[in-house]
A = this chain, B = another copy of it.
Amino acid sequence: MPVGTRATVRGLTPEELHATGADMVLANTYHLWERPGHRLIEQVGGLHRFMAWAGPILTDSGGYQVFSLRDRLRISEEGARFRSVLDGQYRMLTPEVVVEVQEALGVDVAMALDECVELPATPEHTAEATARTTRWLHRCLEARQHPERTALFGIVQGGLIPELRVAHAEELTALDLDGYAIGGLSVGEARDRMLEMVELCTAHLPADRIRYLMGVGQPSDIVDAVLRGVDLFDCVLPTRAGRHGQAYTWSGRRNLRNARYATDPEPLDPSCGCPACRGYSRAYLRHLVKCDELLGKRLLTAHNLHFYQQLVSRVRRAVQVGDASALQAVREDAGRATRRARDGGPQVARSGPGV
């Protein structure tokens, strides 16, 4: 899912988003609750109509964003009280609020409120947060008014503690939820640890329900997570990298600020059919990036989303037909795409507050 935090995937129209191959988009409960407000969106016909997106929409609860506020946050059993960055007002995100907001938005999939712990965390703190996540999930389930319209996914927490992850996955499975998310990963831990936790979770979550890995990730992370049973992803990387002048290609991430592109008449990726690659030279894209021009952000965003959709479509096909060599090939290609191309440039942060 491309990330459309504020009911827009930055710079793209819904038609362009659809043309990248995207079926489903993610928006953010917390951000839309603050601005323009869920009742306003409900009044004008719901989030689909508001943002003119006919496909499915999933909303993150916003817990992750609120928990990144740290010094502005106080967590209690009731919920997460925080001071809004927008207007300085105190607000309280509770399980009941996130369900009310998401049902008012009329989204297809709502996420339960969870408590993320910052790493490193003590086992005690991690266990507490995980237990509270379960209690909040129960409150979310009880608060639902329109289960027939809006599915609710629970979120497996448990930090980097295998026993906690397994126990939590089993606990949530027993609740027979619409779908399951794996949260609290890709927050700074080593990649192997992340994949280990993913594998533990998927092994203890039902295979006939969607298993969604939140906030992941680089192309290689996605392929490796699919190989461990994950069905659904969201990540700001393709859009954020695009806005910062970085382009994913099968030969590596290219930093369009690089001087080597200054007079390069070639398309960004000659094998790509996206609007950026069909219409312009690398020299022009570099110029747009250097000048911080809107068109550059827009074209590279579209390119990166197109690339990610190509990637997952290759993985999907290989999994569907059970073609092990095709899977291996896409795994290697994803590894190459994740690394910097020879022409280099600074790394893009792997994850963040998701705005």
Contacts and interface: CB of A to CB of B under 8 A. Distances in A.
Contacts of A286: 36
A297 to B, nearest CB: 6
A279 B44 contact: no
B45 A265 contact: yes
B281 A44 contact: yes
A44 B294 contact: no
B295 A10 contact: yes
Contact of A52 (B35, B279, B294): B279
Interface in A5-35: 6-8, 10-15, 35
A41 to B, nearest CB: 8
Given A8-B293, A263-B40, A290-B35, A13 B275 contact: yes
B295 A50 contact: no
A44 B265 CA distance: 6
Nearest to A263: B43
Interface in A213-268: 262-263, 265
A90 interface: no
A298 interface: yes
A287 interface: yes
A65 B47 CA distance: 44
A151 interface: no
A348 to B, nearest CB: 18
B8 A295 contact: yes
Interface residues of A, number: 39
Given A263-B40, A263-B44, A10 B280 contact: no
A58 interface: no
Contacts of A11: 11, 294-295, 298
A326 interface: no
A14 B15 CA distance: 17
A52 B295 CA distance: 13
Contacts of A299: 13
Nearest to A11: B294
Contact of A280 (B52, B275, B284): B52
Given A45-B265, A50-B284, A294 B36 contact: no
Nearest to A12: B295
A51 interface: yes
Contacts of A43: 263
B40 A10 contact: no
A97 interface: no
Contacts of A40: 262-263, 283
15 contacts: A7-B287, A8-B288, A8-B294, A11-B294, A13-B275, A13-B299, A35-B287, A35-B291, A36-B290, A40-B263, A44-B265, A50-B287, A51-B284, A52-B280, A298-B298
Q: Which 4 A-B pairs have the closest CB atoms?
A: A11-B294, A36-B287, A44-B283, A8-B295
